[in-house]
Structure 1
Amino acid sequence: MPLTHRPVDEKDIQIICGFPQSEDELFFLFPKAEFPLSSSQLRDAIAQRSDSSVVELGGEVIAFANFYRWESGGRCSIGNVIVSPAARGRGVGRYLIEQMIALAFSKHQAAEIIVSCFNQNIAGLLFYQKLGFQPYAIEERQGRKGNRIALIHLRLSRNAT
């Protein structure tokens, strides 16, 4: 069964809220949110962002992402990336990010695409690197418990694809 993608819909909100399985997963997805993710928190994020999109398999929503920064001809920053626990490790994340990359280049004429990933999110860092994203900056942040953590910024240039 092929994967498809479309803009997020109100009926998807509650499903997406069930994707983060722990405080850590929610922190990687949406650092300012409180666990468990509520519909109102997700609606607020969607309202402030662009191109919130879902991936479906057989009519079931299995992944979500959007842009938290979008500049025509500049850069687009992908955020709120999450795949349903049941769909992980099956190429869904790759499909989702490839669709967001295509959208950034076609709709927004982006010169580069940015993703940011916390140092504890090893799977995410290795995933983005496999897709061609290269680290270019590290920013000190504070974890949920006040500990020092690193937010690693990675980019993919239009001419690198």
Structure 2
Amino acid sequence: MVTHRDLLDKDVARICTFPQNTVESFYASPKSRYPWTPDQVMKVIEQRRSPTVVVDSEDKTIAYSNLYDFDLEEDCCWLGNVLVSPAYRGKAVASFLVDVMMKRARDEHGCTRMKLYCHNTNTKALLLYSKLGFRPCGSKIVLNHEGQHIVAIEMEKNLIESPASSS
């Protein structure tokens, strides 16, 4: 059984162990350097909202994410730093975490839409976000961790159920 809660200081060192290499580090936080340090994570968190962890039945941190770049005129925010412990990958933890973050964006911050960037080389994440209802809405060319050009695919999801879908 997993649940979620706000990030605590005690979670930060464990989160630093989640990226297993420079590629995973880049996918989760393009500006961060591998290996992650608690100072790096805390610096990012200072600019984010709703830092959230998923924990197991023993309160062990197994996933992490946050929200950023709120646009009050558009009632929109961005999902950031989605990362799952290697031992819990492939066990629906990422789906649970993204669902929690969508609910927090809607219920706590009044957002009607959520956006994210997913790199074109991150096939597993693209499949996950598509399955969860995110749709491509734009793109930009970025440099990856090796200085190569790749595409960051902008995806978005409406967080408000339309009346037509309930009839």
TM range (shorter): over 0.9
The aligned amino acid for 1:117 is C
Partner in structure 1 of residue 8 of structure 2: 9
Equivalent AA in structure 1 for residue 78 of structure 2: S
Map 1:26-65; keep pairs closer than 5 Å: 26-58=25-57, 59-65=59-65
Q: How many residue pairs align between the two structures?
A: 160
Residue identity matched to 1:55: V
2:69 maps to 1:66: no
| 1:16-56 superposed Cα distances (whole Å, 9 cap, x missing partner) | 00000010000000111111011110000011100000000
CA shift, 1:70, in A, is: 2.2
Amino acid at match of 1:82: L
**CA RMSD of the aligned region, Å?**
1.2
Q: TM-score of the superposition, structure 2-length normalised?
A: 0.92
Query: 71-80 or 138-147: which moved more?
Result: 71-80
Between the aligned partners of 1:93 and 1:144, the Cα distance in structure 2 is 23
Post-superposition CA distance 1:57-109 (Å, at most 9, x none): 11111000001222446101000000000001111111100000000111111
Supply the AA of the counterpart residue of 2:64.
F
TM-score in terms of structure 1 length: 0.95
Unmatched runs of 5 consecutive residues or more in structure 2: 163-167
2-structure distance, mates of 1:160, 1:32? 34
Give the 3-state SS of the residue equivalent to 1:25 in structure 2.
Answer: helix
Identity, % of aligned positions: 34
